Chains A and B, each alone.
Chain A
Amino acid sequence: MTAPIVETEALTKAFQGMVALDAFDFSVGQGEIVGLIGPNGSGKSTVVNLLTGVLAPTAGRIRVDGRDVTGAPAHEIARLGVARTFQMIRLFSSLTVEENVVLALQQQSGAGYVSSFLQSREARERRLAARAEARETLKLFEMDIHAEKLATDLSIGQQRMVELARGLATRPRLFILDEPAAGLSPVNVDRLITMIRRMRDEFGVTVLLVEHVMRVVQSVCDRVVVLDYGEKIADGAPNVVVEDPKVIEAYIGLGRAADA
């Protein structure tokens, strides 16, 4: 395996004593597409929130590109090239679709705040460049026709595409997708599958995919990690993992779910 982009060591998160993630060891290699699956409430989104700095871990370590970022604020992790989408879609509601993407781009390549305040030529040029870039990326997701609309006026499926465009536009090193197929029509799920592949193959983006829709996981992931009650119960190739009795049990919910 190539050098990991992100790596965790005994990563643990407890909410008021309730352990949502327990000593999780995990890594995503450069250029991989890794799936993270598990039943509802198994801690998948918690992993995403920890990796992106939205939540601070209770214990354990996180490294991005070999650099220790445990407890680092979200914006610093983002600036290392980690982008994400949200299970419950998040877009800036008072901004248009294009502005949403431009804003994300500006964080990476915008002019300085002072230069922008003074309306320098450089600032204007960079903003124009960011707009062009945003249009370009929106086009990939066939969202350029909606660029001028308010983000919140779109359908759920379209909003998901805008979230993907927002992340991809910044050319992240690691793109974490939290259930991107939720609420998508089958046609759009197909498009999503194609787009995830293109992200890696054309744009060199490493992808961590949290997903319930097994069709997506099976068709794009190189490797799948399975969580159950905050513990890693499997890690391997998709076709191997789905055959794993522990995974099957977790999903069918014999045993522990019955007495939960």
Chain B
Amino acid sequence: MALLPQFLANGVVIGSSYVLVALGLTLIFGILKIVNFAHGEFYVLGGYLAVLGSQLLGFPPLPALVLVIVCMAAFGWGVERFIFLPIGKHDPTNVIIASFGLSILLQNVFLKVAGPEPMIAKSGLPAGAIRLGSVFLTSERIAIVAAAAVTVTVLLVVLRFTWVGLSLRALSENATVARISGINVRRVAVVTFMIGSSLAGLSGALMSSVFMVQPGGGVLVVMKAFIVVVMAGMGSIEGAIVAGLGLGVVEALVTGYLGSEMRDIIGFLIVIAVLAVRPQGLFGLKTERS
């Protein structure tokens, strides 16, 4: 029991990264009605960019994060423009296959360019753990939570008060009405995709100073994000925040009390179980109209 607060704190750290990734996934799904299987690789790419910025270019933390966000937004633009746009929405099955292809492509590009060895980013923050009551956290971990909190707040403000946010919400609620009332659907779609991929990249960048970045690391991440979105209910930003933190905490407890060997297998089994029990979650109610 003495370790409980420590496990909870660890859970919040991991959970905040899930929140960021899941927010990206849920935004993209809300507007484009696609689940981007390569979203986990976007997260990994963010991690590599952070390594590049901090290790190779020697950027301090904030500029390194800005670099990640800018690159990921540009990358997201390219993916939307050159892969998802040409496929169109007529056949959702093709989108599934193409984004699976993108996921495979990126994993192997990472493997070729960065190699199989895991990497870690230098945060440039002071080393050593900081004590908060009975909990010890490194400054990186505290920074992750702080950065995630700032990002989520900014995102919520953007969604509430700017044209992007308004049209985004209008679109995810009722695409036809939104289109009729003159919202530029194309532009919103592109912006959403850019925001979504920046969020994934940012999350990966933040985590890269604590957890190793490796080519295949995205698979588990996209699954986790996916179940967060499913549990939260589709398009629910607040739900994704709660579910993301919740999943992080549960995982930290499993790791803490049951050991980390089984963690990944259990993680995947949770994915299967959640999807099998509540498959309609993500899409709202699966309607069967005649």
Contact = CB atoms under 8 A, between A and B. Distances in A.
Contact, chains A and B (beta carbon distance below 8 A): yes
A24 B289 CA distance: 20
Interface in A28-64: 45, 48-49, 54-55
A87 interface: yes
A207 B32 CA distance: 43
Contacts of B288: 49, 54-55
Interface string A119-147: 00000000000000000000000000000
Interface in B252-290: 285, 288-290
Nearest to A210: B290
A55 B285 CA distance: 13
Contacts of A88: 289-290
A48 B285 contact: no
Interface residues of A, number: 11
A178 interface: yes
Nearest to B284: A16
A86 B290 CA distance: 6
Tier of interface size on chain B = under 10
Contact of A16 (B285, B289, B290): B285
Contacts of B290: 45, 48-49, 54, 86-88, 178
Interface in A59-112: 86-88
Contacts of B285: 15-16
A45 B288 CA distance: 11
A159 to B, nearest CB: 15
Contacts of B289: 45, 88
Interface string B125-169: 000000000000000000000000000000000000000000000
Nearest to A178: B290
Interface string A1-34: 0000000000000011000000000000000000
Nearest to B285: A16
Contacts of A178: 290
Interface string B232-252: 000000000000000000000
Nearest to A88: B290
B93 to A, nearest CB: 13
Nearest to A46: B290
Nearest to A54: B288
Contacts of A86: 290
Contacts of A45: 289-290
Nearest to A16: B285
A168 B288 CA distance: 24
Contacts of A55: 288
Contacts of A49: 288, 290
Nearest to A49: B290
B44 to A, nearest CB: 38
Contacts of A87: 290
Nearest to A179: B290
B84 to A, nearest CB: 24
A54 B289 CA distance: 10
A178 B290 CA distance: 9
Nearest to A55: B288
B34 to A, nearest CB: 22
B220 to A, nearest CB: 33
A101 to B, nearest CB: 20
A48 B290 CA distance: 9
A45 B290 CA distance: 7
Which of B285, B289, B290 has the most CB atoms of chain A within a 10 A radius of its CB?
B290
Interface in A137-162: none
A178 B289 CA distance: 12
A177 B290 CA distance: 12
A51 B289 CA distance: 14
A86 B289 CA distance: 9
A54 B287 CA distance: 11
A40 B290 CA distance: 13
Given A45-B290, A86-B290, A88-B289, 12 more contacts: A15-B285, A16-B285, A45-B289, A48-B290, A49-B288, A49-B290, A54-B288, A54-B290, A55-B288, A87-B290, A88-B290, A178-B290
**Nearest 10 interchain pairs by C-beta:** A45-B290, A86-B290, A87-B290, A49-B290, A178-B290, A16-B285, A54-B288, A88-B290, A48-B290, A55-B288
Interface of A: 15-16, 45, 48-49, 54-55, 86-88, 178
Interface of B: 285, 288-290
15 contacts: A15-B285, A16-B285, A45-B289, A45-B290, A48-B290, A49-B288, A49-B290, A54-B288, A54-B290, A55-B288, A86-B290, A87-B290, A88-B289, A88-B290, A178-B290
